């Protein structure tokens, strides 16, 4: 097999199929976290890599929705190794990145070592030229010392900045900084004990786990970064997921509101006030309430359309006036890129941090998902506060021409081997 010279970063990226070339093999991993956003990111990257002629393998935490995202794409699929259960002494709620590591993979040295060996066996099986990590700390640890290119693809929450001690995410709660330092030191000691067992180099601080990678690509914007203290982040931006149906808006009602929510206590209250305020609403809420409730609501409320299948975020963002979400990164990014302010009911720590960031920049409102009394005033603020739309549109103008994905794929082409098919 003839080996050709790899393209340089300056040369840009190209369609390998047009040149009769077969490029490298890329493994994309997802170990921690839930929701479809991980698969959406992996699909975005994988589909483009396939167009460029690369081979792609996916190691996913949850394969349930894999066919929905990767049907028709020539990718290998693997179940990623991850811890299922709860470690003794888990932090509830977690306040720092080391707390996340303890709760999800580093709570027990034997379990951590077993996961590492499973990841190493997967690397040996796939034999990748590059590995892209989506929230995969154990996989990252297992990859140390390997010759392949290593980079994160993350929304900011999954990759801490290069500093120690790492900050608390819960600034609104009383915190013991000395205790957080001790917690982080315990994780560092366990990481280094495992590194010693495996013959790997010691880490000076927990964040070195990520600092030693070839690249950390932030699929987000500085305004959204869960680590506000990060400096010189390699921001790529965000892309709307492909697919989804065009919204069909009610013919009556007031401003158009797109609602994408999961099940939470205030969901029926949100529907009630959307109907009462006569807002032309399209609601996508998979699994939020029983189907019989949807049927009764459809019959009685003409200004609220409840749909059963996913809506095109790119399309709906250009047509709605406001959005109501749980603070999922992809949805919030799509709305604000179109200048649409959001009302957010966060359900997880990751979502809470993002929503607080959006609120701090004046582009949205964060409301408690458990307090019924906050729904109506929050909706009125969304509708009546002109500055929300002004700041959202300012954000949209700022990033209207920004697309770091070409730089991202150019970088991958520069580091992957380029082999002639002849």
pLDDT in tens, 378-408: 999 999 999 999 999 999 999 999 989 999 9
Question: Average pLDDT in the 76-91 region?
Answer: 95
Beta 130-134 vs 418-420: how paired, if at all? unpaired
DSSP conformation class of 80: P
The number of distinct structural domains making up the chain is 2
Q: Are 236 and 405 in contact (CB under 8 A)?
A: yes
Q: What is the mean pLDDT of residues 358-374?
A: 96
**Strand blocks (E) in 14-98:** 21-22, 25-30, 55-60, 75-79
- The CATH number assigned to the domain holding 272 equals 3.40.50.2000
216 has pLDDT over 70: yes
Helix (H) or strand (E) holding 304: strand 304-307
Asked whether residue 131 is assigned to any structural domain, the reply reads yes
Q: How far is CA 232 from CA 69, 76, 161, in A?
A: 32, 34, 10
Asked whether residue 261 falls in the same domain as residue 355, the answer is yes
pLDDT band (50, 70, 90) for residue 215: very high
168 found inside a domain: yes
Within 8 A by CB and 6+ apart from 349, the residues are 93, 94, 169, 170
Q: Is residue 307, in this structure, part of any structural domain at all?
A: yes
pLDDT of residue 128: 97
Enclosing domain of residue 392: 256-398
The reply to whether 287 and 363 lie within a common domain is yes
Q: Mean per-residue pLDDT for 111-136?
A: 97
On whether both 318 and 384 belong to a single domain, the answer is yes
DSSP-derived 3-state class of residue 302: coil
Name the packing angle between helices 267-276 and 291-300 (round to 10°).
10
CA-wise closest residue to 120 among 194, 222, 229, 32: 194
Distance CA 96, CA 160 (A): 10
pTM above 0.85, yes or no: yes
Are residue 29 and residue 115 in the same domain, yes or no? yes
- Report whether pLDDT(17) > 60: no
Closest C-alpha among 338, 377, 369 to residue 352:
369
Residues 293, 416, single domain; the answer is no
Q: Based on the fold, state whether residues 327 and 362 are members of the same structural domain.
A: yes
- Tell me the average pLDDT of the chain: 89
3-state SS, residue 364: strand
Cα–Cα distance measured from residue 30 to residue 134, given in angstroms and rounded to the nearest whole number? 5
CA distance readout (Å), 44 to 40, 70, 223, 340: 6, 10, 22, 23
Both 50 and 81 in one domain: the answer is yes
Asked if residue 244 belongs to a domain, the reply is no
Q: Does 218 share its domain with 272?
A: no
Q: Are residues 155 and 190 in the same domain?
A: yes
**CA–CA dist 380, 254 (Å, integer):** 13
Domain assignment present for 247 = no
Question: Could you tell me the pLDDT band of residue 13, with boundaries at 50, 70 and 90?
Answer: very low
The per-residue pLDDT for range 244-256, each reduced to its tens digit, is 899 999 987 689 9
- Check: CB of residue 371 under 8 Å from CB of residue 241: no
**How large is the average pLDDT for residues 9-16?**
40
- By the 8 A CB rule, do 346 and 355 touch? yes
317-340 average pLDDT score:
97
Task: Kindly report the backbone phi and psi dihedral angles of residue 60, in degrees, each rounded to the nearest multiple of 5, phi listed first.
Answer: -110, 145
The three-point CA angle 237-416-52 to 5° equals 65
**Are 7 and 129 in the same domain?**
yes
407 in any annotated domain:
yes
Q: Using CA atoms, how far apart are residues 361 and 372, in angstroms rounded to an integer? A: 25
* pLDDT tens column, 247-302: 999 987 689 999 999 988 889 899 999 999 999 999 998 877 666 666 666 666 77
Q: Does residue 248 lie within any of the structural domains?
A: no
Sign of the Cα pseudo-torsion (404, 406, 409, 412, in order): negative
Query: Which pLDDT belongs to residue 422?
Result: 33
Same domain assignment for residues 287 and 217: no
Residues 109 and 185 placed together within one structural domain of the fold: yes
Q: Is residue 47 part of a domain?
A: yes
Cα–Cα distance measured from residue 54 to residue 365, given in angstroms and rounded to the nearest whole number: 42
Query: CA 149 → CA 16, 142, 217, distances in Å?
Result: 20, 13, 13
């Amino acid at each position: 097999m003839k080996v050709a010279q790899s393209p340089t970063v300056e040369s840009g990226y190209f369609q390998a199929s047009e040149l009769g070339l077969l490029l490298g093999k890329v493994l994309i991993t997802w170990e921690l976290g839930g929701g479809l956003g991980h698969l959406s990111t992996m699909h975005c990257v994988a589909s483009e890599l396939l167009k460029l002629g690369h081979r792609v393998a996916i190691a996913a935490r949850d394969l349930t929705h894999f066919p929905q995202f990767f049907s028709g794409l020539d990718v290998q699929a693997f179940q990623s190794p991850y811890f299922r259960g709860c470690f003794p002494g888990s932090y509830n709620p977690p306040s720092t990145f080391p707390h996340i590591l303890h709760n999800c993979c580093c709570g027990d040295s034997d379990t951590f070592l077993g996961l590492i060996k499973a990841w190493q066996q997967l690397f040996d099986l796939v034999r990748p030229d590059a590995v892209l990590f989506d929230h995969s700390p154990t996989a990252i640890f297992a990859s140390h010392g390997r010759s392949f290119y290593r980079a994160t693809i993350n929304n900011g929450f999954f990759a801490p900045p290069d500093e120690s001690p790492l900050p608390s995410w819960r600034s609104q709660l009383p915190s013991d900084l000395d205790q957080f330092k001790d917690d982080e030191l315990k994780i560092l000691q366990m990481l280094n004990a495992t590194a010693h067992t495996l013959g790997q180099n010691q880490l000076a601080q927990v964040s070195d786990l990520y600092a030693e990678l070839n690249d950390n690509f932030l699929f987000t914007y500085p305004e959204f970064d869960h680590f506000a203290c990060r400096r010189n982040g390699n921001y790529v931006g965000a892309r709307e997921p492909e697919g989804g149906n065009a919204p069909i808006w009610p013919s009556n009602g007031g401003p158009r509101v797109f609602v994408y929510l999961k099940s939470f206590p205030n969901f029926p209250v949100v529907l009630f006030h959307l109907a009462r305020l006569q807002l032309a609403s399209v609601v996508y809420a998979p699994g939020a309430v029983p189907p019989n409730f949807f049927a009764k609501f459809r019959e009685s409320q003409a200004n609220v359309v409840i749909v059963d299948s996913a809506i095109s975020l790119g399309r709906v963002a250009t047509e709605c006036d406001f959005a109501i979400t749980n603070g999922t990164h992809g949805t919030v990014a799509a709305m604000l890129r179109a200048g649409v302010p959001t009302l957010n009911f966060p359900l997880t720590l990751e979502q809470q941090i993002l929503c607080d960031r959006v609120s701090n920049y004046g582009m949205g409102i964060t409301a408690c998902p458990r307090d019924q009394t906050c729904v109506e005033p929050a909706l009125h603020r969304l509708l009546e506060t002109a500055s929300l739309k002004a700041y959202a549109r300012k954000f949209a103008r700022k990033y209207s021409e920004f697309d770091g994905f070409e730089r991202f794929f150019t970088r991958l082409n520069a580091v992957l081997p380029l082999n002639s098919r002849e």
